[in-house]
Each structure stands twice: as C-alpha cells, then as structure tokens.
Amino acid sequence: MQYDTLIQPDNGQAATLIHVTDKSRFEAWLALQPDAVRTAVKAQKFEGGAKDIAILPADKPGEWSVAAGVTDVSASGLWHLAKLADSLPEGTYRLADYDASEAMLGWMLGQYRYHEYLSEPKLTGPRVLLVKEPARIAMAALQAAATALVRDLVNRPAGDLGPNALEAEAKRIAKAHKAEVTVTAGEPLEAGYPLIHAVGKAAAREHAPRLIELEWGDPRHPRVAIVGKGITFDTGGLDIKPSTGMRLMKKDMGGAAHALALAELIMAAHLPVRLHMLVAAAENSISGNAMRPGDIIKSRKGITVEIDNTDAEGRLVLADALTKAIEDKAELIIDFATLTGAARVALGPDLPAMFSNDDSVAIGLLAASKAATDPLWHMPLWAPYMEMLDSDIADTSNSGGGFAGAVTAALFLQKFVPDNVPWVHLDTFAWRPSSKPGRPKGGEALGLRAVFRYLAETYPAR
C-alpha cells in the first residue's frame, strides 16, 4: 500500500465532511445542527463517545457527512481517526474544525490489511483524508510503511520466512537506499559466531543460520548499531515448547523485523548517522545435531556459555551480534528482541520492557516514547541477580532460573557490552492478541516509533 496517497493536501477538492466531537462537547454541537441531523443522530444512538460514528444527511440528494466521537477534541490523539479510516467507504474526506496532526498516522494504519494468503481477500478502495498540514504527511507515511513492514514480516508463516527471507529483505532495503549488506554463513559463521551457529545448526539447509549486516551513511557520522533477534521459528530446541507455546513462534523474529524497519526509517529520513544494522538469523529447530542442555559453547567474545536451557536461545544469537557491534566501534547500540515470556507476564502485550546501561539514554527514550504514543517501561539491570547466571563449569549459564526472567536475560546480554558504550535492550512482544482501531490482531511494531523519535531528536537531519 502507498501510504502517502491516503492523506493529501487540502486544496478545496470535493470531499465528504467529518464532524469531530466528544462527550463533553456533544450537546453544544448537536444544538447547532438542523432537525434532520438531530433525528439521524438520535436514531443511531450517537452521543459523541470515543470511536462512535454516525452518518448524517445533507441538503442535496446523494450527499452525506459523518459525525465521529473522540476522547478529547482539544488533543489530536494518534488513534482518534483510525476506526473512521477502517469503517468508512472508499472516498475522499475533510475534517471540520479539527487538526489531524498526530492522527494522520492512525488514519493510514487504520487501512492496513494482511491478506497475502487469502484466496479471495476483501479489498476496499482507499479512504483519502485532506489536511491543512501537508508538511506532516511524508513522515507519517514513512512511519506507517515501517509499521506495516514489521506487521507483514511477523504475520508471515515461518515456512515462508526463514533466515534466507530476512536476508532478502535486508538486500531489498539496502538496494533502495544504496546501503551495503554483508552476510556471514556456513563455516565462517561457525568459526566467527559460534553461538548463532549453535542455535541454528539443527535447521534444514534452506533455513541455515546467518548474521546479516547492513551499513549505510557517512563514516564520519556517529556510529549507531541496531541489532535484531531473528529466530524465524522457535521450537524451544531439545527443551521443546508445549504446542500452545509454539503456536505463535513464527513471531520470534519480531526483533529482526523491528531492526529492518527502523533501518529503513533511518535511511529514508536521512538521519546523520553511520548505521550498522545486525540481524542474527536462525531457526531453533530439533535434529540429531541440535545443541543440548549441558553443552558449553565459547562465544565470539570468548565467554564460555553453559546451555542450561535450549529455549533461552535468543540471548545467545544476540550475544554474538552485540560483540560484533562493539568490535566495529558502535557509539550507541539498541537491540530489539522477543526475548522472554517473563516480560509479558510483568508488563502484558503492549509494553516493551526497556533495559539500559545509560540512564540519560533511558530517560530520553522514555520521553520519546510518550511523545510518540509508543510506550516503553524502564526495567532494572539489577546487578545482584547476576549470580543467578553463575555456572559451576563455564563462565556463565544462559538461563537464570524461574525468577526475574526478563532481568536475568538482560543481564546475560550485558556481559557482552562494556559499560562505556550506551546500550538499550528492548524486550518486545511484536504481537497484538486482540484488535483495536488501527491495530489489528497479529504482528505489531512496539517500540519502533519511540526509538526512531529518540534517534531523530538526538541526530536531527540537516
């Protein structure tokens, strides 16, 4: 979908009018309407409640307008217009006395559909919104496209989206923005990135593991590394998941989807950074050569890791990728990963858990997440829990046991990042279990817009 076509500058074109109100202003608005409109409003039980919609008659035959309820007319909420964009028929619309502002993105995403595997998809024409703030359209469209990319990749079944497909996506993005892609696989991966190799070595040949790197930008600019966990399917390995836990594991590459989408956003917005995107891609499968509980693997950094649980594999692939980012002199590292169920138990599906070794970066990200209506929740790197990762026979275990699972997973990653390099770890769900306006059930970008806003404010385009 071409999201930049869904919102256009208002140059006086013919359009259906949308009246926006809320509960507190509803009676005053209604009092100004003609009898026919008041009758229609009463018949449809419209009272200005958030997400309520009513179709209103007009003076001329065949013409009509819309009444839409929002939470607060005085504040343009991101999702205020999303249900309208989903529900209204194909056509062109104009807002009456309402600033679209932040709601532009919600209007675009309200029209997102995933129908790649439907033999007879229910296709609808575009709902185009005319606005008085044309300068906002391009950025809203970029963010809508990035969000849609995350959703598309996460929704795609694992049989059609293995590590090779993530590589192809990285190359597509690189070609569009004149970036460079490097892929390490096979024997070089085994020798140079032993944790990534160990996690993915049991997969079929066509789903062989690899490290995918994309580089873009002026080498003189600050080097920013974006790292994504790309476990394209997670059986749990020999510590196999139950069927209920495995059903959604096509989404375990959600971190990689975020990294790819964020990389494209950074390049499209021409942020003055030297971008280094790293996707550690593997399928955690089961076969005779799968890694075993009790195995000890020496990481790229040289830290030996005892495999306490083969289902704690995402942190393993991230560890080798983080090491490479450090070797290449990253000045800021942000990783995305669908890492722990513990984060979901603590915070639910909508709140990514954010860990950072730099308080100033964490504070900046929290402010950006609030401004972007893309919430994050700051979690502690609680050092006393590091002992939960102790191993009797290796430098560390890969699992900290039953307590504080999201914290111990982050602490494991911290072992691979020096204290003097600002680092952020986002444990995101990348999935929406139920639908909301503009946010259908399925793959979802959670934390993407918050991080992009932070980067755009930290490294403003010139």
Contact 295, 209 (CB under 8 A): no
Residues in Cβ contact with 108 at an 8 Å cutoff, skipping those fewer than 6 apart: 3, 6, 7, 85, 140, 141, 144
Residue 132: how many CB atoms within 10 A of its CB? 12
How far, in Å, CA of 199 to CA of 283, rounded? 7
Catalytic residue numbers, as ranges: 241, 315
Contact 211, 196 (CB under 8 A): yes
Q: CA angle, 384 as apex, 380 and 388 as ends, to 5°?
A: 100
Query: Coil, strand, or helix at residue 375?
Result: coil
Residue with tokens 């930290």: 458
3-state secondary structure 223-256: EEEEEEEEEEEECCCCCCCCHHHHCCHHHHHHHH
How far, in Å, CA of 320 to CA of 141, rounded? 34
How far, in Å, CA of 107 to CA of 81, rounded? 5
Contact 161, 443 (CB under 8 A): no
Query: Coil, strand, or helix at residue 87?
Result: helix
Contact 69, 51 (CB under 8 A): yes
How far, in Å, CA of 110 to CA of 88, rounded? 10
Q: At what angle do helices 448-458 and 254-268 cross, to 10 degrees?
A: 30
Identify which of 285, 265, 253, 275 has the alpha carbon closest to the alpha carbon of residue 166.
253
Q: CA angle, 250 as apex, 247 and 252 as ends, to 5°?
A: 110
- E-assigned strand segments in 286-331: 296-298, 304-306
Beta pairing partners, 62: none
